[in-house]
A and B are shown apart, each in its own frame.
Chain A
Amino acid sequence: DAGITQSPRHKVTETGTPVTLRCHQTENHRYMYWYRQDPGHGLRLIHYSYGVKDTDKGEVSDGYSVSRSKTEDFLLTLESATSSQTSVYFCAISLGSGPYNEQFFGPGTRLTVL
């Protein structure tokens, strides 16, 4: 599992509240990613990071921000949660670098926004 943990694993919150999801890795991999998965859409990239303090947007970044102040942690924040952000969120890391490398995914966080 490449030492990836996500917290919390489940969360229920109310519309308008801030939410922060944490992805933690233990093996100093440079690249980290946040995806969301919804029925009918598959996995969609929200944000990714290619190093400490280096992040970039994915295909569905509106309403989300990220931070990476140290190699092992990549935080995803919903500043003001909305019901459309109810989803399962997966963190992933890339092993190594170069023209090819596989991604390993965390166990996921199920977020419900009421």
Chain B
Amino acid sequence: DAKTTQPPSMDCAEGRAANLPCNHSTISGNEYVYWYRQIHSQGPQYIIHGLKNNETNEMASLIITEDRKSSTLILPHATLRDTAVYYCIVRVGDDKIIFGKGTRLHILP
């Protein structure tokens, strides 16, 4: 079973920041938080990962709470091309990825 809980769907206006929450209350100390997204009919795409500290790359920012029981993926300026299913995953090393059902993000024009 997936170790994470995400809302099934969210809407965001184009140009606004999209904030996608994820709960992972049973995360263990050596597990990383990863985010992937899947645009319709394509393979999942890696976005970002983190352990304790907040992370930022060219695609997104990842905010992890101090107790590590939840995190938020932030897409700073959402565009229509960001419409996708977003998966939050916790794993360590080369462990298999267990995908949950993710959050279906709709970007509204």
Chain B positions within 8 Å of A, measured between CB atoms, are 2, 30, 32, 34, 41-46, 49, 51, 87, 92-94, 96-102
Contacts and interface: CB of A to CB of B under 8 A. Distances in A.
Interface of A: 31, 33, 42-45, 48, 50, 58-59, 88, 90, 92, 94, 97-108
Main secondary structure of the interface of B (DSSP, over half): loop
B96 A99 contact: no
Contacts of B32: 99-100
Contacts of A48: 96
Contacts of A104: 46
A66 B102 CA distance: 28
B43 A107 contact: yes
B46 A97 contact: no
18 contacts: A33-B97, A42-B99, A42-B102, A45-B96, A45-B97, A45-B98, A90-B43, A97-B93, A98-B93, A100-B92, A101-B93, A103-B44, A103-B46, A104-B46, A105-B44, A105-B45, A108-B41, A108-B42
